[in-house]
């Protein structure tokens, strides 16, 4: 008898978000582009053996929900914003191990054309 879990990772990358997050008043008033990647570790045994959709995560719910949640967000920091997004993912899927990488696409820093990001992890007990 095999008591091991067939753990897999669902990766979702480059989800476009529009959010009102930032230190400057205009960032919170006008909003700006963000990108988010997230990964969720899940037992995939039933889904992979039986092609059972109900035994895996429906990532379309997360994508649509994160986009709606982001549009309503009003925070000063990407740290708080990332926590808000992780709370949502956890409300959808429960306390599964998850990783989130959130990027502010064009932070208003003179002479800087890159992005700024934060990576967070939750529920890693292995």
What are the boundaries of each domain within the chain?
9-116
How would you list the strands of the sheet with 116-122, edge to edge?
74-75, 7-21, 32-43, 98-104, 116-122
Residues 48-75 have a mean pLDDT of 93
Q: Assign domain 9-116 to a CATH class.
A: alpha beta
For residue 1, pLDDT beyond 90: no
Q: What is the structure's pLDDT at 125? A: 79
The pTM (predicted TM-score) of the whole model is 0.90
Label residue 107 by pLDDT band (50, 70, 90). very high
Please give the residue that has the higher pLDDT: either 54 or 10: 10
Considering the chain, what is the average pLDDT of its residues?
Answer: 93
| Sign of the Cα pseudo-torsion (76, 100, 122, 65, in order) | positive
CB 76 within 8 A of CB 23: yes
């Amino acid at each position: 008898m095999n008591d091991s879990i067939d753990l897999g990772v669902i990766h979702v990358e480059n989800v476009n978000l529009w959010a009102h997050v930032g230190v400057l008043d205009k960032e919170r008033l006008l909003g700006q582009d963000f990108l988010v990647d997230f990964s969720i570790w899940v037992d995939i045994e039933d889904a992979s053996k039986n092609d059972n959709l109900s035994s895996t995560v429906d990532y379309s719910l997360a994508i649509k929900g994160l986009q709606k949640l982001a549009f309503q967000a009003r925070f000063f920091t990407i740290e708080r914003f990332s926590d808000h997004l992780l709370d949502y993912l956890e409300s959808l899927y429960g306390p599964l191990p998850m990783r989130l990488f959130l990027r502010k696409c064009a932070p208003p820093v003179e002479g800087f054309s890159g992005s700024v990001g934060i990576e967070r992890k939750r529920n890693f007990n292995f």
